[in-house]
Amino acid sequence: MSGVETLGRVLPVVALRQRRGWLRRALRTGPLVCGSAILALVVIIALMAPILFPGNPNDMVDVPAQWPGESAATPLGTDSMGRDVAAGLAYGARVSLLVGISSAVIGLLIGTTVGAIGGYFGGWTDRILARLTIIFQTIPSFLLVIVIVTIATPSAAIIALAIGVASWPTVARLVRAQYRSLRAQDFVMAARSLGYSAPRIIVCEILPNALPPIVVTTSVMVANAILIEAGLSFLNLGDANLISWGSMIGDGRALLRTAWFLTALPGSAIALTVLSLNLIGDGLNEVLNPRAGKE
Amino acid sequence: MMSLRRTAQVARHAVLDALPTVVGIVVLNFLLLHLVPGDAVDVLAGQSGSATAATMDAMRAQFGLDRDLWSQLLSYFVHLAHFDLGQSVRFGMPVSRLLLERIGNTLILMVTAQVLALILGILLGWIMATFAGRWLDRALSVLVLIFYSTPGFWIGLMAIVLFSVELGWLPNGGTGTLSVRLEGLPWLLDRARHLVLPALALASFFMAIYARLTRAALVEVQYQDFMRTAHAKGLHPLVVQLRHGLRNALLPVTTVAGIQLGNLLGGAVVVETVFNWSGMGQLALEAVQGRDFNVLLGVLLISSILVIVANAAIDLLHAWLDPRTERADA
């Protein structure tokens, strides 16, 4: 009897605690869920673009400069050349995501390699690599991207490469710090005493332990790459064959007074996509690195 | 306060630390210049349309473009030591003079934006940290995250629509009114009115960075022993916040402000285009259109050196803020 009584008295408290725990978890994973949902939507639109909008998004389909809702065929309006804004947004998502992800991969590869080698070996190797990192960090990355893209012909691949080359120092610094602190730990000593080769220790032993902050940085790097690509194609330095959100803003600028939606829509698309990536970054940071965001 | 000797020591370290970086950047600049397919003479010949092979060779000799790579690098260094960045093919004048004409406008824009971003960012971060976990903190965090995700140049364009086209409060571009000749205070006010929108557009992204940093640093510092001691001493909470909390939170903010300087310059390139602000960024784009690589790489070099100088200044500031700092990044 008394046991049941106690249980009865305790249960609501437990339930309350559980509910609070749920609330706290939701607040902690909320950004991650929210960001993933938005990003998933953008990815789906990007993948479905050829099905949703068959035909070239650069083709004239309607009367130029129609406001959203004016014509049933083009629900989000048309630009100064009669192109469908909705189709442009869908195809633009492909360019933004493609350039964003591939440049982040390039930046991660360079940055992780430089940071891991410098941090693991230390000494002169580290000093030279750290100097190289500082040099690339000092040069304004957007200007460097402009210079590289201007020297080569602007194509999506070159733009991704240029952004990757300009953005690796952040990763290198992060990875270097990780390797410097991890290389003195017991499991590395053990691996070394077992006669493992340096590359094996760097890749198979330390890298998995250094991954969490790298994962968080990845989403931020994709976000920044999308912003850089947008600025570049806004300045008409993007891939001329592809329609992108930045180039849509650039084209819409001429009609800023009469048809500002041509600028507003692609800009919102950029902000929303980058926001989703930053939410994911914040969320991952909370989950992987719980102490960082404590209140 | 920091003693004069320590100031000199920190300054010497900063200069010695910066020198290899400068050399590395110059070499990188030079190599980039040589990756360019074709050269300035090809561009000139293309423009005139009537150049013969002989006149092109003569021009190459005149510009020193016919020598081997090493001697060209050497003469590049010698010229740089004399502040000679070469000749602009497109503008027909020395690159250094072109840069001098434009650098002032870019500096005004950058410094204003940086100061605005720091003030607004630290203020927002402080408010968020004070109300950490409550609804005001959450609402501001979302707002800050939106600014962190939105391209500044687009915010500028939307601000033009609102404040210049619809409301007519502020001019939509340029560095000053050209039609009337102004002097004294009216001139200054006119310049300031033209500066508001570009500076805010450029500042938005960096304000968000500093706000997030300040919040994190202040929340972190709240639990430190010296904060509890300060409270226990009976100091006014505001004094504790400002003298002990904010002062410590400022260290990461100033460090990141230095790291972000390069990005601030990059952002200025786009914002200058949006607002027809005739600075180095616009010059760089004109150089891109004319394929005038002397000018383009001159902009890259000068901006990099600007970042180095500013970071050295921040090292000095750090030595003053935090007596424990012997040298940055030791």
The tens digit of pLDDT for each residue in B36-47 reads 776 666 766 666
Does B297 reach chain A within 8 Å, measured CB to CB? yes
Q: What are the C-alpha distances in Å from A84 to residues A8, A80, A95?
A: 64, 10, 17
- Give the number of other Cβ atoms within 10 Å of residue A123's Cβ: 8
Mean pLDDT per block of 10 residues along chain B (330 residues) reads 69 80 86 74 66 74 69 79 74 82 88 93 89 84 91 89 78 70 74 85 92 87 76 74 75 84 87 87 85 83 87 79 53
Which residues on chain A are in Cβ contact (under 8 Å) with B288?
146, 150, 237
Q: Inter-chain contact A140–B266, Cβ cutoff 8 Å?
A: yes
* Per-domain residue ranges of chain A: 3-294
Smallest CA–CA distance from B36 into chain A, residue = A151
Most B CBs within 10 A among A38, A142, A277, A294, hence the mutation to make, goes to: A142
CB B246 within 8 A of CB B218: yes
d(CA B281, CA B205): 18
Q: Are A223 and B149 in contact (CB under 8 A)?
A: yes
**Cβ-Cβ contacts under 8 Å, B148 against chain A:** 278
* Chain segment B143-168, per-residue pLDDT in tens: 999 999 999 899 988 888 887 777 87
- Per-residue pLDDT tens over the stretch A120-152: 888 898 899 988 998 898 888 898 999 888 888
- Per the document, the length of chain A is 295
d(CA A259, CA A261): 5
DSSP state, residue B243: I
CATH of B96-329, picked from 3.40.50.720, 1.10.3720.10, 3.40.1440.60, 3.40.50.920, is: 1.10.3720.10
Query: Which residue on chain A is closest to B283 by alpha carbon?
Result: A143
Place of tokens 């990003």: A39
Strand segments, DSSP code E, in A154-274 are: none
- Residue A238 gets which letter from DSSP? S
Q: Are A122 and A178 in contact (CB under 8 A)?
A: no
Interface residue B270 vs chain A (CB under 8 A): yes
Q: Which DSSP category does A67 fall into?
A: P
- Please state, rounded to an integer, the average pLDDT across all residues of chain A: 82
Nearest partner of B128 among B226, B3, B222, judged by Cα = B222
ipTM for the predicted complex comes to: 0.82
The pTM for the full model equals 0.84
To the question of domain A3-294 being in CATH 3.20.20.70, the answer is no
Measured CA to CA, the distance from residue A273 to residue A81 in angstroms comes to 26
CA atoms of B208 and B221, how far apart (whole Å): 20
Q: Look at residue A221 and tell me whether its pLDDT is greater than 70.
A: yes
Length of chain B: 330
